[in-house]
Amino acid sequence: MPAYVISMMAIHDPDTYRKYTDRTPPIVKKYQGKFLTRGEPVTTLEGETYTDRMVILEFPSKTHVEAWIADPEYQEAMVFRHASSTMRMLLIQEGGENTEDPDPKL
């Protein structure tokens, strides 16, 4: 079942952040992940305007995401991200039990 990683980050040091983004693509690919979007403009449809960077990744499964996050090369790359940005990273799996007729009370 596919798993998606949604990352939203505010970057305060673009040069250092680039050291992270330069290393990330081959590591994502190693775990059969792919970028669905990687920093393209975001249009806010409702609520406060979103002005930060957003990246959405797709992996074959949650297990692939967990292996990617634990990869030593990715751990090394994260040092640059931590030094240059603040981020929220979310993981969601496709295929909830009730996606066609969701419970309106939730």
pLDDT at residue 98, rounded to an integer: 59
CATH number of the domain to which 34 belongs: 3.30.70.100
**Is 9 within the bounds of a domain?**
yes
Q: Which residues contact 73 (CB under 8 A, 6 or more apart)?
A: 23, 27
**Is 99 within the bounds of a domain?**
no
**Is 102 within the bounds of a domain?**
no
**Is 28 within the bounds of a domain?**
yes
Q: Strands, DSSP E only, in the chain?
A: 3-11, 34-38, 53-59, 85-93
pLDDT at residue 76, rounded to an integer: 97
State the residue range of the domain holding 69.
3-43+50-93
pLDDT at residue 17, rounded to an integer: 97
User: What is the reported pTM?
Assistant: 0.86
pLDDT at residue 2, rounded to an integer: 94
**Is 103 within the bounds of a domain?**
no
**Is 82 within the bounds of a domain?**
yes
pLDDT at residue 94, rounded to an integer: 74
Residue ranges in the chain whose pLDDT is less than 70 = 95-99, 101-106
